Amino acid sequence: MSDELTVEDAKLVTLAQGARGRIAAVQGAAVRDQMGRTYSAANVGAGEFRLSATQLVVAQALAAGASGLELAVVLGVEQVDLELLRAFAGTGVAVLRCSVTGEILERLST
């Protein structure tokens, strides 16, 4: 399996890195919906309240009216929340788990 990304897929890695870097977060995530729109987020917390980057990026896509995804990229996590992505986008969506530097660690599918 190739670790090469298309230009469009590499943009999602860059968006996830940017979201993470803006607030020095541990996690970053980015998705492309079925219309080609992109969303990115980082994990956040206040006191005991915590939201993962994946939860926030899915919430953004839902709030924008997206009904599915083409690709999801998640940085800085040991395990991707496939259940959440599957609940939103269905099965067969490509998911890349990457290091914070953008190296592909694992290719998954919902």
pLDDT along the chain (110 residues), means of 10: 79 98 97 97 97 98 96 96 96 96 95
Q: Distance between CA 69 and CA 82 in Å, rounded?
A: 13
Class of domain 7-109: alpha beta
What SS3 class is residue 31? strand
Please give the structure tokens belonging to residue 50.
């915590």
Distance CA 110, CA 101 (A): 23
* Both tokens assigned to 85: 């992505």
Domain locations along the chain: 7-109
Cβ atoms of 44 and 71 closer than 8 Å: no
The per-residue pLDDT for 42 is: 98
pLDDT of residue 4: 79
